[in-house]
Structure 1
């Protein structure tokens, strides 16, 4: 039976394992445990999915609980995908901050998933990796 809960004490090992097992690890600093630790420390809304204690999914967000929630990491172990776990992690995240608009950037392989579960696509997004890139 899959259980969902808000957690504040995940280990970097558990976090790294679910990232790798979901393929999100391809785009996350899994070889930098100090960075992963900070990601957990400063992600102020973490919802997990567990199967008999084993971490099989995570929604890691940054939120003010009033205006916006940025869902930075949504990862579900590949062995558990296509069972509605990702959708439930998103639902639990939204329920934890009901006044805030939930925002995320889709991984390239998941870009078609979010509209299927009822999320609205918004085309105006910008990012920068280094302050030196500003002109």
Structure 2
């Protein structure tokens, strides 16, 4: 039975292992423990999915709890994908922030087809400056 929890007081090793097992670790600094710890600690809305004591999913977000929520990470262990866990993590994230708040994200290339499937609208107006670029 899958259970869900809210909060970012998590074992960093378990989080890094989940990122690795979900393939999100390919696009996150999982070898930099201090940076991963800061990412987790500074997220102000974290919802997790558990199979017993095993962390199998995470939604890591930043929100103002009123108007907008940025879903920075959505990761589900590969062995648990296609069971609705990601969708439930997103649903709980949206509800915990404020059901009236918009939810935005940048999709990983492998997940681009997933988000429209669950109801997201593609917004081509998004812009980004990479960490190694200046204004």
**Aligned residues: CA RMSD:** 1.1
Give the Cα–Cα distance (whole angstroms) in 2 for the partners of residues 130 and 4 of structure 1: 33
The TM-score with structure 1 as length reference comes to 0.95
Report runs of 4+ in structure 1 exceeding 6 Å deviation: none
- What is aligned with 2:5? 5
Q: Is residue 128 of structure 1 aligned with residue 120 of structure 2?
A: no
Aligned to 2:56: 56
Give the whole-Å Cα distance in 1 for the aligned partners of 2:100 and 2:119.
Answer: 18
Unaligned runs of 5+ in 1: none
Number of residue pairs matched by the alignment: 134
Shift of residue 130, structure 1, vs aligned partner = 3.8
Counterpart mapping for 1:1-135 below 5 A? 1-97=1-97, 98-130=99-131, 132-134=133-135
**Structure 1 CA distance for aligned equivalents of residues 113 and 47 of structure 2:** 23
C-alpha distance in structure 2 between counterparts of 1:99 and 1:36, whole Å: 30
Contact 1:49-1:57 within 8 A present in 2 as well: yes
Contact 2:61–2:69 (CA under 8 A) maintained in structure 1: yes
Query: Aligned pair in 2 of structure 1 residues 131, 33: CA closer, same or farther (>3 Å)?
Result: closer
Q: Give deviations 1:40-73, integer Å, cap 9, x for gaps.
A: 1110000000001100000000000011100000
